[in-house]
Structure 1
């Protein structure tokens, strides 16, 4: 079964443009990775500093490989400057 990851992120109010740009770069590179089933970015309609990333990977190995890519490591490196608080990440296993 595939593995899903849900990440909730809240950027600083003065960092919205830069955060949006960096998230879109991350998504663009991630969807091209082997093992990526889906990599979707959402923004709260009523609170534009809040985002959700929904990822789906073929398996845990694919997710682990993603976390070793240069684009993922770059985003993790720069995100503390842009985030209002640490991201909340949950890993889920598809049951059906």
Structure 2
């Protein structure tokens, strides 16, 4: 069974451009990884500083490998300077 992540993210108002650029780079690179099934980005319609990311990985090993990549570690390193609050990440297991 695949494993999914659902992340709620709130970036700082003055960091929107940088955050958007870095987030899109992360997603573009992550989509090329073996085991990445989906990596989708959503933005709140009425609150442009709030995002939701939905990821789906083939299995826990694929997710673990993703978390060891340079592009993921870089994003985790820079994100505290861009975020209003820490990301709220939930790991989900597909039931159906």
TM category (shorter chain) comes to: over 0.9
Tell me if 1:11 matches 2:11.
yes
Query: What is the alpha-carbon root mean square deviation over aligned residues?
Result: 0.3
Instruction: State the partner residue of 1:87.
Output: 87
What is the alpha-carbon distance in structure 2 between the residues aligned to residue 24 and residue 85 of structure 1?
A: 19
Structure 2, unaligned stretches of length 5 or more? Answer: none
> If the length of structure 1 is used for normalisation, what is the TM-score?
0.99
| Runs of 4+ in structure 1 over 4 Å off | none
Within 5 Å, which residues of 2 pair with 1:1-96? Answer: 1-96=1-96
Q: Determine the C-alpha separation between the residues in 2 that align with 1:18 and 1:76.
A: 14
Q: Give 1:87 shift.
A: 0.3
Aligned length: 96
| Structure 2 CA distance for aligned equivalents of residues 14 and 65 of structure 1 | 32
